Structure 1
Amino acid sequence: MQANKQKPVVLVTAADLAPQALEMLSGFEVVFAGKQPTEDEVVALCAMHKPVAIIVRYGKVNARIMDAAGQLQVISKHGSGIDVIDQEAAAQRGIEVRAAVGANAAAVAEHAWALILACAKSVTHLHVRMRAGHWDKATHKSVELEGRTLGLVGLGAIGRRVAAAGLAFGMNVIAYDPFAKEAPAGMTLVELDALYSSSDVVSLHCPLTPENRQMLNRHTFARFKRGAILVNTARGGLIDEAALLDALAAGQLRCAGLDSFDVEPMSNPHPFQSVANLILSPHIGGVSDAAYVNMGKGSAANVLAVLGERTRATV
């Protein structure tokens, strides 16, 4: 009698994956690394199980992890941000890197608008004041968005959803995206300097690259329209955080809403925690009930696609 052939392993850098994704991966043994696993823990699991694929939910995947895996063929991101994967190291080792592009676009776009509205309408500030027994109706004025300019840095699946909502609010929508050939109806493509100087709200929707790290710094904040709102649901490394604190303190920015940070999890204590005109959330813009399923299915589909392509290529 022939012995059962051991299933190839897919390692997930998390404690769970959507049931729909697990069903797609029924031909594999799925190993979970646990909640927010350390690099050493992932290396140990790779050395033990020799996965053919890694689905990245939390943490980073570097050359050390790739080398420990040995048989690794594909690294699939549970989401769209592949800056957490050493892409150069993967290319050198012949390992495919894929992202579940657009799987969480609706969730992130909605969260961007939650932060924009919270900033414009002082939601958290007024909530705290009300809890303390204050009634600020006679003194408070919020920012009305109709007729104001929304500037989007990045016009992919998320940016276009944010733009559509801005148009529905009656805003003038402009965008910078070096890869966009034309703007959707009702929008205008502009250069970055024009976007900074013209926008009442700036929302970031671009990937983090070595070229645009800390693209928002003291020099660029000085070119912003005074009193603008800044929202970042992309990557924390896009912003010089010390410069952001100075811009908020000086009134160059009215308010900012951040869902991503240069170092994650954000350290505790952190200078951001004492800034009243700064709204924070723990990088959960893409975490919703529907996005959890979509990202799981998207990352599983990418694993199956790459392994299927490579299997066919060897036949």
Structure 2
Amino acid sequence: MNVATQKPVLIVTGTDLASEALDMLRDFDVVYAGRTPTESDLIALCSTHQPTAIIVRYGKVNAAVMDACGGHLQVISKHGSGIDVIDQKAAAERGIAVRAAVGANAAAVAEHTWALILACANSVPQLDVRMRAGHWDKSTHKSLELAGRTIGLVGLGAIGRRVAAAAQAFDMRVLAFDPYAKEAPAGVTLVGLDELFSSADIVSLHCPLTDENRHMINAQTLGTFKPGAILVNTARGGLIDEPALAQALSSGKLLAAGLDSFDVEPMPSPHVFQGIPNVILSPHIGGVSDAAYVNMGKGAAANVIDVIDSHARSAAYS
């Protein structure tokens, strides 16, 4: 509680929130942690302000950060859908709710997925570089035409389903693996992961990162991919064994890869990917669009308010 304002404190691990979200949070004293807050930054800030809520944009929230809140913290709300940056076990042990703005950036991530797929299939960045250097590669270049090809989606949530719908518009065959999906949209065939890897011309990742699927894309699984396949990851970097992927790209096993997330973020420099011409890199911005920024902020704010109100109602009846 901020004694001066008598408002509960909400810390944002970033520098801003959409104005629409701030309007929803007018009963909170909002404190920003900065663009790239470290663990020590967050511990110091939480020790000082004793927040009731944290909205996570950047960085990680672990047990030490939670404990620095002095027992006041009720909810950790993700500005987006990926809650792997929050120690969920530690939160559960402390009775702290963890929430995600599920689906708030689904359209943006799906669109960026297709930006990467099309850029890989058509060598867009590479041709741009060649053109700027004075080359005209019309007689030697061939794009990978998508019509009639197979795309394999690992994860069939809000993002995966949007990617699937676009794939069907491209006249592609759509396979999907999702152990939690009870049914698939029309035109999408649910298959096992091994079949997906061996059958797909394009493999696109749309699943959360867990202890069980960390480095699911590794030397062994990459060995089962079709020669000349494309891999796209707009989910979590930890899903991929990066040295193994670098080898598959350099050897020609894969035609290309489009990556928007990395095992360590920001991606360290130098990095092996920087020297590989057939990988397209973007700095985890798949969900960062004008509309998604607003939707994620509003979703994160709504989750905070819901948990705080629920606590207040419980206290009133106890």
What TM-score, normalized by structure 1, do the two folds share?
Answer: 0.98
Q: Structure 1: which amino acid aligns with 2:9?
A: V
Q: State how far apart, in whole Å, the 1-side matches of 2:279 and 2:184 are.
A: 31
Q: Does 1:235 align with 2:202?
A: no
Counting only pairs closer than 5 Å after superposition, residues 96-175 of structure 1 correspond to structure 2 as 96-175=97-176
Give the Å deviation of 1:251.
1.3
Letter in 1 for 2:49: H
Q: 1:77 & 1:170 partners in 2: Cα distance? A: 36
Unmatched segments (≥5 aa) in structure 1: none
Structure 2 match to 1:21: 21
Would the aligned equivalents of 2:24 and 2:301 in 1 still touch at CA under 8 Å? Answer: yes
Post-superposition offset of 1:4: 7.4
Distance 1:227-1:4 versus aligned 2 partners, 3 A rule: closer
**What is the aligned partner in structure 2 of residue 40 from structure 1?**
40
Helix, strand or coil: the match of 1:251?
coil
Question: CA offset at residue 266 of structure 1?
Answer: 0.6
CA distance in 2, matches of 1:4, 1:38: 27
Counterpart CA distance in 1 for 2:143 and 2:41 is: 48
Q: Secondary structure at the match of 2:98?
A: strand
Instruction: Measure the CA separation in 1 of the matches of 2:175 and 2:119.
Output: 21
CA apart distance, 1:249? 1.3
Q: Structure 2: which 5+ residue stretches go unaligned? A: none
**Which whole-Å CA distance do the structure 1 matches of 2:46 and 2:89 have between them?**
20
Partner residue in 2 for 1:63 = 63
Cα distance change of structure 1 residues 49 and 276 upon mapping to structure 2, 3 Å threshold: same
Rounded Cα–Cα distance in structure 1 between residues aligned with 2:105 and 2:184: 22
In 2, Cα distance between equivalents of 1:4 and 1:61:
27
- For 1:264 and 1:234, locate their aligned partners in 2 and report how far apart those are by CA, in whole Å: 13
Deviating more after overlay: 247-256 vs 60-69: 247-256
Within 2, Cα distance between the matches of 1:42 and 1:125?
41
2:82 is matched with 81
SS at match of 2:215: coil
Q: What is aligned with 2:294?
A: 293
Query: Could you tell me how far apart the structure 1 residues matched to 2:82 and 2:269 are?
Result: 25
* 3-state SS in 2 of match to 1:69: coil
1:156 partner amino acid: G
Q: Residue 10 of structure 1 corresponds to which residue in structure 2?
A: 10
Q: What is the aligned partner in structure 2 of residue 49 from structure 1?
A: 49
Report sequence identity in percent. Answer: 72
> What's the CA shift string for 1:89-143, capped at 9, x where partnerless?
0000000000000000000000000000000000011001100111010111000
Q: Deviations over 1:137-156 (max 9, x none)?
A: 01110000000001000000
What is the distance in 2 between the residues matched to 1:165 and 1:181? Answer: 21
Matched residue SS, 2:55: strand
* Cα drift, residue 5 of structure 1: 6.0
Distance 2:252 2:264 in 1: 25
SS of corresponding position for 1:255: strand
Q: CA deviation at 1:86?
A: 0.2
| Equivalent AA in structure 1 for residue 108 of structure 2 | A
CA distance in 1, matches of 2:35, 2:257: 29
Matched ranges for 1:217-256 at <5 A: 217-256=218-257
Instruction: Spell out the pairing of 1:138-217 with structure 2 (5 A cutoff).
Output: 138-217=139-218
Quote how far apart the aligned CAs of 1:300 are.
0.2
Distance 1:115 1:36 in 2: 26
1:137 partner letter = K
Aligned residues: 313
Q: Contact 2:218/2:240 (CA < 8 Å) preserved in 1? A: yes
Tell me the SS of whatever aligns to 2:213: coil
Q: Provide the secondary structure at the position in 1 that maps to 2:231.
A: strand
User: Secondary structure of 2:223's partner?
Assistant: helix
Q: CA deviation at 1:37?
A: 1.2
> By how many angstroms is 1:298 displaced?
0.2
SS at match of 1:75: strand
Equivalent position of 2:270 in the other structure: 269
The match for 1:31 is 31
Distance 1:175 1:90 in 2: 32
- Matches of 1:31 and 1:38, distance apart in 2: 15
Structure 2 Cα separation of the partners of residues 245 and 19 of structure 1: 41
Q: Output the amino acid matched with 2:62.
A: N
SS in 2 for 1:223: coil
Name 1:313's counterpart in structure 2: 314
CA RMSD of aligned residues (A): 0.9
Residue 90 of structure 1 corresponds to which residue in structure 2? 91
Q: TM-score, normalised by structure 2?
A: 0.97
Give, in angstroms, the shift of residue 36 of structure 1: 1.2
